[in-house]
Chains A and B, each alone.
Chain A
């Protein structure tokens, strides 16, 4: 049973469609990263997933149960770091920890204190007076203190400086290494998650346009550059890429640069031997390049 399952999820706000028939599964022990531009529907998906918002269509499941109807039970097994720090501003981290201790069965207040100490975040300063980075770290420390089976992080590094970002990801890696916690993460910080993500999904205009393991994704998304000596009409450049699924093709002075989503060595060898194609090369793409290619809106 997957910790997270989303089935044909649809969310509408009046006439605006935020999510359209999104289906995804997050296997246990994975770090599933959901990418998307602002307004792509990530937060709506997270709210539905956490049982905070009722889907217009479809359903979200946490540990096999509908999250809308089984929210309180699911929350016992979940740690959450929200996009916007929502703790009451007058409460200190220590008070927050004590309050949560009354709500969660296996609350580890000592772990909160030691993490905060490690992060260098004071436990006796009201939450509202902490910096944005400190707030994020407090939220993460609190989210981990109940030893959750699933961590949901909604853009946890948004607006954080590099140091804070590194601490958050470092903590995540440590948690994963210690207990194999499943992580569901939405973020714009592509470089940051590239080292820890196992799965990636991309939301575009409310639709899940891409969802795969990161390694497989990197294997099938490649950049191909080449020149074509036979073609004189610029308009005809790129037509020789018929064997690939090209998500973006650019004609430059020296030749053609194409980003393809179904790279295959054998097909590439056949492409190289196409008449007129010279200097054909294939190179790997970063996660950011893949994201821009898929969600950027260009072709």
Chain B
């Protein structure tokens, strides 16, 4: 250690003029009052800025210049033997020279800022200066660590350039290769949503780089001594001997990390199926990937799947009505909050994601036409309709409202928009307006509204086909049927106990789950409110209806827990019900809905017997496994994670 200090002291002594120059530069900020256009009140601020500029210039500049010269220049000028001819170990030479450069850079930086710092009022120069001992320690560590990194980096670069050895070609090639590998890995991780682990790993990466550069410098001095080419070789071997395998391993690890298969899912947290076909969207944590959520489009029958980006970059996976195409939003720019629309043809042998030119801000709303060829999207105050294949804009109109609007294609030529939920606190508290966009005329008009007649909240759904509206208000106790265009009342279906879920049963009739007195009842109600069959399902606080199928069979998920949005399977019991007879045909416990809220946000309720109306659905069991439960057959089939 003594030898290191002796060498460091000599380096500092040789270059002490830098400290004198920094001390002089530290006085320059006090000339701020003499600068033109500096108001008297701004002088402390200008002085602080000048002092910080001097700090940066002397700290960074000195570190770079000294790093490049303390040893590399001696080698190039054949003066390195001065040290190697003394009883000094190579590491003492390297350590002493590096320490000298670091102390000079740090000293110069501090001298450049010290006068202004002392003269500044408390907190004036560095308002964010650390107040705690730990903060001071961290700041000092960053300051010295940063300067040391610059010294080591500059030394390595100077040795590479000044040695004029063929290793320079190796350096440049591997720098590009490793840089590309690291950048690609970092971008992939960021793209997949591993931003936080990436940010946590970054300081360790920088620290590793610093240690690697210091080790490479030591190797260069120890193995090369006065031979610049040999030293450069040792330096390159050290750096790339570690950096290349690490970059390759990092790239391999990144690839592994961001490429889970559906079979790697340890549990499913979210899932919903396409209205038709076998595809479904699933999301959940994958094996050895921590809490990070991985999303997939999966076809359990064929085993095909398409990996989607990490959960935080993914929004609103939608399927076309025929289930042959999926659309989803991917975060394009976190800072600007931009989302890009992607699609995939699920009928292809190997579905590939394709990005569209559609980019939207905020919370864009998407609708797909019945044929799946057109999409309507609302972003901010604009509404556009595009042809999916060509991305040609068919219509684009401006909206008067920023209120959240649901939208759907009534047919290929008409898009309906409406406010799906109206609460007392909303500006449009009294009604849910109904809008219509005629695509050929590119004309948007308000066609009517659904009034909130009673209660705090009004909820609106369209029946499949768009001709009629179901409106639920009066604290979910009154269900009315209304004209889909004007909102005019066609009939009151139910005026009684609280309705926790309902489904169209054809002809304006519904099957509804009513809960009263802790008992859940299933009713078939006609459009005019006349009661049909009713079945008492048992002691449940609420429930969800799936179906009914064309034969009248349906599936009910009854909830015993109090958590409306909960998916805890223990809170649910599945019941297969034969609607005409009101008989419970099957009972299953230990399974909970995948997205219990989803029926509420879908703008259109599937028609009875139509796509998506079947007494079979996906549920989650207590371990997070995705299970297909078919109430008609009474079978449960685990889909994911795959049984091993």
- Interface of A toward B, CB cutoff 8 Å: 47, 50-54, 71-73, 75-76, 78, 80, 82, 84, 86-88, 90-91, 95, 99-100, 102-104
Q: A87 to B14, alpha carbons, bound, how many Å?
A: 12
User: CB distance A53 to B10 under 8 Å?
Assistant: no
Residues of B within 8 A of A47 (CB): 81, 226-227
Is the Cβ of A90 less than 8 Å from the Cβ of B14? yes
Instruction: Name which residue of chain A comes closest to B3, CB basis.
Output: A103
Q: Are B86 and A103 in contact (CB under 8 A)?
A: yes
Instruction: Give the A-B pair count, Cβ closer than 8 A.
Output: 63
B226→A72 contact, CB < 8 A: no
**A-side contacts of B2, CB under 8 Å:** 102
Q: How far is the CB of B41 from chain A (nearest CB, A)?
A: 46
* Chain B: minimal CB distance from A214 (Å): 27
Q: Determine which of A50, A53, A88, A95 lies in contact with B85 in the assembled complex, contact meaning CB atoms within 8 Å.
A: A50
> Across the interface, do B227 and A53 meet the contact criterion of CB distance under 8 Å?
yes
**Are A102's CB and B6's CB within 8 A?**
yes
B87 and A76: CB pair below 8 A? yes
Task: Provide the bound-state CA to CA distance between A102 and B79, in Å.
Answer: 20
A229 vs B78: C-alpha distance when bound (angstroms): 59
CA distance A53 to B230 in the complex (A): 9
Q: Is there a chain A Cβ closer than 8 Å to B632's Cβ?
A: no
10 closest residue pairs by CB, A with B: A75-B87, A52-B226, A86-B82, A76-B87, A86-B79, A80-B85, A52-B84, A72-B87, A102-B6, A52-B225
Contact call A53/B225, Cβ cutoff below 8 A: yes
Query: Which residue of B6, B13, B89, B223 is within 8 Å of A72 (Cβ)?
Result: B89
15 A-B contacts, Cβ less than 8 Å apart? Answer: A47-B81, A50-B85, A51-B84, A52-B85, A52-B225, A54-B223, A54-B230, A72-B89, A75-B86, A76-B87, A82-B85, A88-B79, A88-B82, A103-B3, A103-B87
Q: How far is the CB of A135 from chain B (nearest CB, A)?
A: 12
Beyond contacts A82-B85, A86-B81, A100-B86: 7 other A-B pairs, Cβ-Cβ < 8 A, are: A47-B226, A47-B227, A76-B87, A84-B78, A88-B79, A91-B14, A103-B88
Across the interface, do A54 and B82 meet the contact criterion of CB distance under 8 Å?
A: no
CA distance A177 to B418 in the complex (A): 112
Assess whether A53 is in contact with B226, with CB atoms less than 8 Å apart: yes
Q: What separation, in Å, do the CA atoms of A94 and B227 have in the docked complex?
A: 29
Distance (whole angstroms) from the CB of A97 to the closest CB of chain B: 13
* Contacting pair A73 B87 (CB below 8 A): yes
- Give, as a whole number of angstroms, the nearest-CB distance from B164 to chain A: 12
Task: Pick from B10, B85, B226 the residue with the most CB of A within 10 Å.
Answer: B85
**What separation, in Å, do the CA atoms of A70 and B290 have in the docked complex?**
52
* A104: chain B residues within 8 A (beta carbon): 86-87
Q: Which residue of B lies closest to A105 (CB)?
A: B87
How far apart are B455's CB and chain A's nearest CB, in angstroms? Answer: 90
- Given A75-B86, A82-B81, A84-B78, are A51 and B14 neighbors across the interface (CB < 8 Å)? no
Main secondary structure of the interface of A (DSSP, over half): loop
Report chain A residues within 8 Å CB of B82: 86-88
Q: How far is the CB of B85 from chain A (nearest CB, A)?
A: 5
Distance, CA A87 to CA B87, complexed state (A): 15
Q: Which residues of B contact A (CB under 8 A)?
A: 2-3, 6, 10, 13-14, 78-82, 84-89, 223, 225-227, 230
CB distance from A184 to the nearest CB of B (A): 14
Q: Whose C-beta in chain A lies nearest to the C-beta of B10?
A: A99
Residues of A with C-beta under 8 A to B6: 99, 102-103
Q: How far is the CB of A77 from chain B (nearest CB, A)?
A: 9
Residue of B13, B81, B89 near A52 (CB, 8 A) is: B81
Contacts of B225 in A (CB 8 A): 51-54
Contact of A72 with B81 at beta-carbon distance under 8 Å, contacts A52-B226, A53-B227, A90-B14 already known:
no
Chain A residues near B79 (CB, 8 Å)? 86, 88
Q: Is A50 a contact of B84 with CB atoms below 8 Å?
A: yes
Contacts of B85 in A (CB 8 A): 50, 52, 75, 78, 80, 82, 86
Q: How far is the CB of A131 from chain B (nearest CB, A)?
A: 18
Asked, given contacts A88-B82, A99-B10, whether A54 binds B87 with beta carbons under 8 Å apart, the answer is no
How many whole Å from B104's CB to the nearest CB in chain A?
15
* Pair B88/A54 contact, Cβ less than 8 Å: no
Q: How far is the CA of A76 from the CA of B225 in the complex (A)?
A: 18
- A90 cross-chain contacts in B, Cβ below 8 A: 14
Residue ID in chain B nearest A154 by CB atoms: B81
A290 CB to closest chain B CB, in angstroms?
31
Chain B hits for A102, CB < 8 A: 2, 6
B227 cross-chain contacts in A, Cβ below 8 A: 47, 52-54
A75 to B3, CA, bound (A): 14
Task: Verify B14–A71 contact, CB threshold 8 A.
Answer: no
* A91 / chain B contacts, CB cutoff of 8 Å: 14
Known A53-B226, A53-B227; judge A88-B14 contact (CB<8 A).
yes
Residues of A within 8 A of B89 (CB): 72
Task: Return chain B residues, CB-CB under 8 Å to A88.
Answer: 10, 14, 79, 82
In whole angstroms, how far apart are the Cα atoms of A120 and B223 in the complex? 40
Note all chain A residues with C-beta closer than 8 A to B223: 54
| Minimal beta-carbon separation of A70 from chain B (angstroms) | 11
What separation, in Å, do the CA atoms of A86 and B6 have in the docked complex?
A: 18
Chain B neighbourhood of A71, CB < 8 A: 84
A91 to B272 alpha-carbon distance, docked (Å): 79
Max count, chain B CB within 10 A of own CB: residue among A73, A76, A90 = A90
CA distance A80 to B86 in the complex (A): 9
Query: When chains A and B are docked, how far (Å) is the Cα of A192 from the Cα of B421?
Result: 108
Inside 8 A of B81's CB, which chain A residues have their CB?
Answer: 47, 50, 52, 82, 86
Choose among A54, A72, A73 the residue with the greatest number of B CB atoms under 10 Å from its CB: A72
What residue of chain B has the Cβ atom nearest to residue A47's Cβ?
B226
Q: Which residue of chain B is the closest to A100 with respect to CB atoms? A: B86
Which residues in A have their C-beta under 8 angstroms from that of B13?
95
Closest Cβ–Cβ distance, residue A9 to chain B (whole Å) = 15
Residues in A with CB closer than 8 Å to B87 are 72-73, 75-76, 103-104
In angstroms, how far is the closest chain A Cβ from the Cβ of B238? 16
Residue of A nearest to B79 (CB): A86
CB distance from B602 to the nearest CB of A (A): 75
Task: Give chain B residues whose Cβ lies under 8 Å from the Cβ of A99.
Answer: 6, 10
A87-B74 Cα distance, complex, nearest whole Å: 10
A102 and B96 CA atoms in complex are apart in Å by: 14
Report B-chain residues with C-beta under 8 Å of the C-beta of A72: 87-89
Q: How many angstroms from the CA of A88 to the CA of B83 in the assembled complex?
A: 10
A245 to B: closest C-beta gap in Å? 38
Q: Nearest CB to that of B226 among chain A residues?
A: A52
Give the complex CA separation of A72 and B88 in angstroms.
5
| Closest residue of A by beta carbon distance from B84 | A52
Q: Which residue of B lies closest to A99 (CB)?
A: B10
Residues from chain B with Cβ under 8 Å of A73 in the complex: 87
